[in-house]
Structure 1
Amino acid sequence: MEVYIGVLLLQIIFLPHSISCDGNLSELVFPSNFLFGTASSAYQYEGGYLSDGKGLNNWDAYSHQPGNLIIDGSNGDIAVDHYHRYLEDVGLMHSLGVNSYRFSISWARILPKGRFGEINEAGIEFYNNLIDALLIKGIQPFVTLTHFDFPQELEDRYGSWMSPQSQEDFAYFADVCFKSFGDRVKYWATFNEPDYQVKFGYLTGFFTILFFDFVTEATVQGIDFTGYLTKLTYRFLEPIIFGRYPPEMRNILGSILPEFTATEKQKLNKGVDFIGVNHYTSYYVQDCMFSVCEPGLGTSKTEGFWAQSSEKNGTPIGEPGELVWQNAYPQGLDKILTYLKDKYHNIPMFITENGYGNMNKADSTTAELLHDAKRAEYIAAYLGALSTAIRNFLAEHSKVQYQQQPKDANNSPFYY
């Protein structure tokens, strides 16, 4: 279960307090109602893939196909058996002291045939029980509606996301979830990493390899040169928040991009309550618009002609980890939060994913697994970077407040 960190700091100021932590953390500033939590996705955790009326989803179907691209040949039939052992898992989370848990709902467990069949009441009961168990322990549920899985029925009928019919199905699914769980769930996310689903699920087909081998890479990554963040964040955040695609995309794609109608722009106005940031690592980037780059991620027209690398002049951007894509570069977290705060006018943010990945080692002993020093170092360093972002924001806000105070001791308690 990967650790994630909820951030409620960039729109409303909370009084900071210091907490003592083990390891390298001693005096970190976090708001009193700051959320620390864990995160999971349904297919990777639940198991029970045909239990109690659940229908097949796309990963159930794919993982059972002979000759698929899953590196170790595994599947999610059992996973960590969260479906049957959720009470134990909630107890473990409570023992860790976390106060939030992000999980996704298996669409096929709720609606085995989408809108073309009945609601599976056993699926509704499972999530009701999970949510209630979390709340009893003081753990806030964060629900993601789709984390790369959808009913295979929809794939068979009309090609799922490739068809406009998917809009009607998703709206129906969301409505069922809101009505069933909305009285207790305050925080909802629609799609997990939609750009990765588009690119790796439909453009390259490489997504299937990534999904089973290690924790999926981040949607929004702290890139060393933030100007290129346009290629990663603008294409989703800009249309949703401002009702337009950024000029950089229009210059490259031209008429390929759709225009928003006045009605659509009105619907998008204030349509985002928070930004979810999945952050694990950072990269150097190269502009491929006017220079020659090796073929790879980002170098196509539809992606914006950019390339990324974990090193520059042979030097890694941070300490390399066991996963080839994950170098520890905690200051990247500070950079991405600050960038998004400034760019999108203090919309609240949650760090919905962050954590340290390991390769599976069949011969590992229990003692070796428990001596998880690298993960502890990684999380400590990233918490430190997050604390820096909070400190800088509080200092900036305090300065602005001071500058706005009237310079009359008789009228202001903040006279200096």
Structure 2
Amino acid sequence: MRTPLLCFLHSLLVILYVAPASAYSEAETSWPETVRFDTGGLSRESFPKGFVFGTATSAYQVEGMAKKDGRGPSIWDVFVTIPGTIANNATADVAVDQYHRYKQDVDIMAKLNFDAYRFSISWSRIFPDGVGKVNWKGVAYYNRLIDYLLAKGITPYANLYHYDLPEALEKKYMGLLSYKVVKDYADFADFCFKTFGDRVKNWMTFNEPRVVAALGYDDGFFAPGRCSKLVGNCTAGNSATEPYIAAHNLILSHAAAVQRYREKYQAKQKGKIGILLDFVWYEPLTRSKADNLAAQRARDFHVGWFLHPIVYGEYPKTMQYIVGKRLPKFSKAEVMMVKGSMDFVGINQYTTYYMYDPHQPKPKLTRYQMDWNAGFAYNRKGVPIGPKIHEEVYKLAHMQAYSYWLYDVPWGMYKVLTYIKEHYGNPTVILSENGMDDPGNVTLPKGLHDTKRINFYKDYLTQLKKAVDEGANVVGYFAWSLLDNFEWRLGYTSRFGMVYVDYKTLNRYPKMSAYWFKQLLSGKKH
């Protein structure tokens, strides 16, 4: 068994062994067959029969062609035009041009032995106005992508919404703040089921609706950028009520789409449908009862906000008590529609924080984040949160990714999956996102040698396997992301990809982590 220090030294040897990046041509970067990566004993055989390994992206982050071929603007196309909002005032007008380069990207996936690709469908590329007239050029693009994935042996996993509400609906009725969005979203989903469902058998309704509601309507950090005046630099909004209204309509939209699929398509198409939820693990800072309750409040306000209604037909009791009349209520008919509205749940898991009870009176400012009444901590007794190991060289190298919020805490993966198993009836889970980032300005040679990312994936997958071995019903894992891409507020200053993208030429260069996965997945699919 290798110690972390030996793994670190092994990585250095690999770096010395690899030829300079100038020796590689686009999409042909490879390491000599004699180089063996440390997979920590993991292989396909380590996971249950039929376990799916894939990569993930989203339409807005990779497609480009934001203003062409009939696509209508989304709320993010408007949001990015606000000066100073995005790093270097970048836009996703071109992104990494998967719209034209999808074959190349799918070929890379196939060469790396991946089984599946989780992509999202841009609502405004299909319906430029959100409703009504269909943009058939957009439909044709997704048909090409799906067909080519299948031709290359890659299973398509289609997500219907990844932050990108059509701007037309924002203008028409304030988007997610209106109940009208429920039918319009269900109609969009219905069209996708009808058009692509003969080939797509795995559907997701929303990616990270908590992020949409919290960052879009509590602090205004994401589109449509709404919040109370005392919270952030927003032109309009109410952080005390709007996050809960938006979340309520997101849940109803999800359930309405699932109802359409089950009533009209599922029996014939024989597919499955679920939702993708982000879940940071919240660990009590101390063993005190107060800190344990604070951590539980954080979990309820985070993943419970959406998963609790879908599994149990109501919001968590903690939310009902704290939010009170500001929390919308489901009618009896809506409870019937919402409860049980998933065949699986996708969990996006990246990091873990300590939580503590701030021992403060009720805050004067009423807003979603303050409703938690919980404090965040990133170290305990001077020790940063992270891997439970002793070798300092390893700890310092792995403590944090480039993004300020992303601490490398592998054991959080195990706790998240165990929590879902124990609190929500052990549903079918797809680990739908997991990864870490490097700075956007990293050079090609340095970017290719992403040993830190390899160790991140290895450690998190080891913890996932531990949860599976103990009975968690996890059936797949999707690495975020296939490509370096447009990273929302960070623009192109953050690189999450296992494939390096030269943003000037848009050439693709698989990193060491890509070939680590190729070795991991080299065994016979079972």
Correspondence list, 1:7-406, <5 A: 22-27=37-42, 29-65=46-82, 67-115=83-131, 117-207=132-222, 219-225=278-284, 227=296, 228-288=298-358, 299-301=369-371, 304-318=372-386, 319-361=399-441, 364-393=442-471
CA contact (8 A) 2:309 2:339 kept: no
Stretch of structure 1 that moved more, 196-205 or 250-259: 250-259
Distance 1:338 1:230, change over 3 A: same
Q: Distance in 2 between matches of 1:265 and 1:101?
A: 32
| Change in 2 beyond 3 A, CA 1:289/1:148 | farther
DSSP-derived class of the 1:188 partner: strand
Amino acid at match of 2:81: H
Contact 2:42–2:462 (8 Å) recurs in 1: no
1:234-287, CA deviations, whole angstroms, 9 ceiling, x for partnerless residues?
A: 111111211112211122122222333322222223211111111111000123
CA shift, 1:297, in A, is 9.9
SS at match of 1:380: helix
Counterpart residue identity of residue 94, structure 1 = A
Does the 8 A contact of 1:298 with 1:305 survive in 2?
A: no
User: Aligned pair count?
Assistant: 362
Measured in 1, the distance between the counterparts of 2:329 and 2:215 equals 25
Contact 1:298 1:307 in 2 (8 A): no
Contact kept? 2:278, 2:347, Cα under 8 Å: yes
Cα deviation, residue 33, structure 1? 0.9
Query: 2: distance between equivalents of 1:159 and 1:85?
Result: 35
Q: Which amino acid aligns with 1:234?
A: G
The aligned amino acid for 1:310 is Y
Q: Residues 239 and 317 (structure 1 numbering): CA distance in 2 closer, same or farther, change over 3 Å?
A: same
How far is 1:171 from its partner?
1.4
Give the drift of 1:106. Answer: 0.7
TM-score where L is the length of structure 1 = 0.81
**Using a 3 Å threshold, how does the CA distance of structure 1 residues 179 and 288 change in structure 2: closer, same or farther?**
farther
The range that moved more, 222-231 or 347-356, is: 222-231
Task: Give per-residue Cα distances to partners, 1:137-190, cap 9 Å, x unaligned.
Answer: 221111111101122211222221122221221111111111111111111111
Question: Aligned equivalents of 2:183 and 2:400: distance in 1?
Answer: 44
SS of residue paired to 1:322: coil
CA distance in 2, matches of 1:203, 1:130: 36
What is the CA-CA distance between 1:31 and the residue it aligns to? 1.2
Alpha-carbon contact 1:46-1:80 (below 8 Å) kept: yes
**1:335 Cα deviation after fit:** 0.6
Letter of the 1:332 counterpart: G
1:256 maps to a residue whose letter is R
Contact 1:331 1:385 in 2 (8 A): yes
Work out whether residues 421 and 472 of structure 2, in 8 Å CA contact, stay in contact via their aligned partners in 1.
no
| C-alpha distance after superposition, 1:9-29 (max 9, x if no partner) | xxxxxxxxxxxx831421552
Rounded to whole Å, the distance in 1 between the matches of 2:380 and 2:354 is 7
Shifted more, 283-292 versus 340-349: the winner is 283-292
Partner Cα separation in structure 1 for residue 156 and residue 54 of structure 2:
10
Q: Secondary structure at the match of 2:118?
A: strand
SS at match of 1:77: coil
Q: Equivalents in 2 of 1:298, 1:49: separation in Å?
A: 32
SS at match of 1:191: strand
Q: Return the letter of the residue paired with 1:342.
A: E
Q: State the one-letter code of the partner of 2:125.
A: R
Gaps of 5+ in 1: 1-20, 211-217, 396-416
Name the SS for the 1:36 alignment partner: strand
Distance 1:120 1:252, change over 3 A: same
Amino acid at match of 2:438: N
Segment drifting more, 82-91 vs 46-55? 46-55
In the alignment, residue 332 of structure 2 is paired with which amino acid? A
TM-score, with structure 2 as normaliser: 0.65
CA distance in 2, matches of 1:292, 1:163: 30
Contact kept, 8 Å, 1:90 with 1:134, in 2: the verdict is yes
Change (3 A) 1:154 1:98: same
> Cα deviations across residues 303-327 of structure 1 (Å, max 9, x unaligned)?
x222222222332111222222111
Are residues 152 and 68 of structure 1, via their aligned partners in 2, closer, same or farther at CA, if it must alter by over 3 Å?
farther
Residues 64, 97 of structure 2: 8 Å contact kept: yes
Would the alpha carbon gap of residues 355 and 132 (structure 1) be closer, same or farther in structure 2, given more than 3 Å must change? Answer: same
| Higher mean displacement: 151-160 or 350-359 | 151-160
CA distance in 2, matches of 1:368, 1:27: 26
Q: 1:297 to 1:57 in 2, by over 3 A?
A: same
Bigger shift: residues 329-338 or 279-288? 279-288
2:16 — aligned with what?
none
Residues 119, 224 of structure 1: alpha-carbon distance in 2 compared, 3 angstrom cutoff: same
Structure 1 residues 208 and 159 mapped into 2: Cα distance closer, same or farther (>3 Å)?
closer
Q: Matched residues in 1 for 2:58 and 2:38: separation?
A: 29
